Amino acid sequence: MNPNNYLYLSAVLFSIGAVGVLVRRNAIVVFMCIELMLNASNLAFVSFARVWGNLDGQVIAFFVMVVAAAEVVIGLAIVMTIFRTRRSASVDEANLLKY
Amino acid sequence: MSSFSGAVTLAVDAPVAVTASGTFSLIWLLIGLPLIGAVILLVGGRRTNAFGHWLGVLASAASFVVAAVLFFAMLAQPLDGRTQRQHLFDWISVGTFKVPADLRLDQLSMTFVLLITGVGTLIHLYSVGYMSHDRDRRKFFGYLNLFVASMLLLVLADNYLLLYVGWEGVGLASYLLIGFWYFKETAAVASKKAFIVNRVGDVGLSLAVMLMFVTFGSVTFDGVLARASQASESQLTWIGLALLLAACGKSAQFPLQSWLLDAMAGPTPVSALIHAATMVTAGVYLIVRSNAIFDAAPTAQTAVIVIGAITLLMGAVIGCAKDDIKKALAGSTMSQIGYMVLAAGLGPVGYAFAIFHLVVHGFFKADMFLGAGSVMHGMNDQVNMRRYGALRTVMVATWLTFGAGYLAIMGIPPFAGFFSKDNIIEAAFSRGILVGLVTVVGAGVTAFYMSRLFVMTFHSTKRWTEDVHPHESPMIMVVPIAILALLSAIGGLVLNWNNAIVSWLEPVTGFQEPELAVSKLGMEGISLVVVLAGAALGWMLYDRRPVPEMAPAGNLLTRAARADLYGDAVNEAVFMRPGQYLTRWLVWFDNRVVDGAVNGVAATIGGLSGRARRLQTGFTRSYALSMLGGAALVAIALVLVRL
């Protein structure tokens, strides 16, 4: 199968994730969109590894997964805390840290 | 002078110094004894109050005894063994620059040592009585001992840098003692003024020391004076002028004379010891000690003569107008030191006479200052001579002793001043008719103002304020004055006997017989006539006519002289005001320009930051957009570069 198709899919997934981060207000959804972007990049890494016959891309993909797992732990904890104190998970309302 | 007729010895090569041994190893004690006294009195504090004044007298007297022993030991030495050097320690040793802390005792410093310790001890003794009611008497004696030690270091140092230490030491002691009654505003201000004016002179001395090091690579007397002939005349002239500036500051010579009159705010024994007999003559010592430099620099010598002549007349004119007895005497001191400086500027003709006059001036001026102190003691510390008068009736001893000093300073034979001043007048005439005339006129004016002072104080009619009851001072004050009066009476005769002082000093200073157009006797006659005329005028104006209790307005010259010939006004207009304007302008420049630039930069950055701060909206999604935009830009840039 043509590896270009995997890359197109990766680009589409990344764009969906990016647009989701920019337009959605719910912190959980934003969070999921970020995961989508991470996995899109993972797909690109693995595809390139296949194209070049080189394992480096796959190794990087593992690293990204580890980082993503750690990020989920902290990120969800923060989202939970914000929700408990403000009874809302909207990222637009958590805007106290500013000029 | 007959023994010297025809014998012309110019400044000889500086005699070779012998390393001090035997009796001469005591030289350090001269300085050490008063220094120990000062340390004990100033560090010991109130615990030494009970016996402090006697300890001070003892330290000074012990130093005088050592000086006397050394003097007789020196007399026993042959002529070429009289310059003794004692090595104390290596002070500075940096590369080729070596300054040992050496003391040098030769005929010149011996003369000074005897004068300082002798007159100093008498004034210490006098102060025991004069300061008996002062609660800080112990501190006073501590300062006096400090002064004596510093002054001895000044005259015993074997190099210009060590001399500088003594020079600053006497300046410090003078400052402390003028301001001894610091709670009086005049005294506090006068001490600061003396200190600052002396600093101006000290710049001259430090410049001279630096120039010597550059020129000769050495600052020792041997290293500089013996090699003076190797330097060019312009180098020597600059060194000489720098030394003259130093001498002007310390000896209150024009244009640095203004501090001396104000310094009279200090206690009277201080005026007698420091501001008449010893410290103010340090400038004369400096010039005479550096004779090899001045001999080879005629321009500098002329400058010395001019300064001496100007100060001589200025001091005399000021002395004529002052009603404050101490200020009149201070004007006279200026004038007499002008004589010495003038004589020192004449070269080998005058060096020995300058020192001769310095010594006898130390006697008669200390005598008269102590006499003035005795009068003030009996008159509730009043100094206005217009409220004195007829004091001879109640203060006989003071009157007689003051009279000896009065006759001595006028130069009535056989009193001391006659011999020394006459020698200077002769030497001045051998230089030129104008210089000679200045000294003769000065002698006449001296006779006038001293007669005025003497008559207004001791003769004329009573003009006392109602609350005073004049009385003779206690014995402890009268005895030192009497000794000084005796020295004023016979000192000149003894020192001039067979040219004793000239032949004593000749190995150090050199000597040249003055060449006179008139015979010596004729010369003496002329100056005596001028002196008697001045004195007669003084007696006529102030004894025959009543003295008004309030000072009359006076003519232009009198008013100028009362204002110290506008010395302070000139200083203020020429130095103080421009300095003040400069400071004000600098403050303005600092506030507006320097601070303006610094504050302007800060304000600009602050304003820009305030604008930039608005970017931090707290709106998470806008941050995400900027991150995305940035990442896209980076990606595009990478793609473009790749292509």
Residue B13: the pLDDT is 53
Residue B42: the pLDDT is 92
Kindly identify which residue of chain B lies nearest to residue A96, measuring between CA atoms. B618
Q: Give the mean model confidence (pLDDT) for residues B283-310.
A: 93
Question: Which residues of A fall within a CB distance of 8 Å from B626?
Answer: none
Question: Using 50, 70 and 90 to split pLDDT, how confident is the model at B14?
Answer: low
Cα maximum dimension of chain B: 122
Q: Give the mean model confidence (pLDDT) for residues B603-618.
A: 90
- List residues of A whose CB lies inside 8 A of any B CB: 18, 21-23, 25, 91-92, 94-99
**Each residue's pLDDT tens digit, B433-458:** 899 999 999 999 999 999 999 999 99
CB contacts < 8 A (A, B): 32
**CA of B576 to nearest chain A CA: how many angstroms apart?**
55
Contact call for residues B146 and B169 (beta carbons, < 8 A) = yes
**Closest in B618, B619, B628 to A18, CB measured:** B628
How far is it, in rounded angstroms, from Cα B288 to Cα B294? 9
CA distances (Å), origin B123, targets B103, B162, B373: 26, 26, 11
Least confident of A4-18, A55-69, B5-19, B488-502: B5-19
**Each residue's pLDDT tens digit, B119-141:** 999 999 999 989 888 888 899 99
Question: Which residues of B fall within a CB distance of 8 Å from A94?
Answer: 620
Residue B399: the pLDDT is 92
Residue B222: the pLDDT is 87
CA proximity to B339, closest of B417, B238, B405: B417
How far is it, in rounded angstroms, from Cα B73 to Cα B50? 37
Q: Give the mean model confidence (pLDDT) for residues B251-257.
A: 89
Question: Using 50, 70 and 90 to split pLDDT, how confident is the model at B326?
Answer: very high
How far is it, in rounded angstroms, from Cα B608 to Cα B600? 12
CB contact under 8 A, A92 and B625: no
CA proximity to B418, closest of B473, B496, B316: B496
CB contact under 8 A, A21 and B621: yes
**Each residue's pLDDT tens digit, B184-233:** 999 999 999 999 999 999 999 999 999 999 998 889 988 888 888 888 88
Which H or E element spans position B377?
Answer: helix B351-378
CB contact under 8 A, A91 and B621: yes
**Closest in B613, B616, B621 to A22, CB measured:** B621
Residue B544: the pLDDT is 81
CB contact under 8 A, B617 and A99: yes
Question: Using 50, 70 and 90 to split pLDDT, how confident is the model at B37?
Answer: very high
**Closest in A18, A21, A97 to B618, CB measured:** A97
User: To the nearest 10°, the Cα dihedral for B2, B6, B11, B13?
Assistant: -110
Question: Which residues of B fall within a CB distance of 8 Å from A97?
Answer: 616, 618
pLDDT at B153 over 70: yes
Residue B243: the pLDDT is 94
**Each residue's pLDDT tens digit, B349-377:** 889 999 999 999 999 999 999 999 999 98
How far is it, in rounded angstroms, from Cα B431 to Cα B343? 10
Which H or E element spans position B88?
Answer: strand B84-94
**CA of A31 to nearest chain B CA: how many angstroms apart?**
12
pLDDT at B472 over 90: no
Question: Which residues of B fall within a CB distance of 8 Å from A33?
Answer: none
Mutate to test the interface with A, among B614, B616, B620 (most CBs of A within 10 A): B620
Question: Using 50, 70 and 90 to split pLDDT, how confident is the model at B15?
Answer: low
**Each residue's pLDDT tens digit, B395-433:** 899 999 999 999 999 988 889 888 899 889 989 988 888
Residue B11: the pLDDT is 45
Kindly identify which residue of chain B lies nearest to residue A14, measuring between CA atoms. B628
A-contacting residues in B 559-618 (Cβ below 8 Å): 613-614, 616-618
**Each residue's pLDDT tens digit, A45-59:** 999 999 999 999 999
What is the percent of chain B where pLDDT is above 70? 98
Other Cβ atoms within 10 Å of B521 Cβ, number? 8
Question: Which residues of A fall within a CB distance of 8 Å from B617?
Answer: 95, 98-99
**Each residue's pLDDT tens digit, B525-545:** 888 999 999 999 988 888 888
**CA of B622 to nearest chain A CA: how many angstroms apart?**
8
Residue B95: the pLDDT is 82
Q: What is the pTM of this model?
A: 0.79
CB contact under 8 A, A98 and B628: no
Mutate to test the interface with B, among A29, A38, A41, A99 (most CBs of B within 10 A): A99
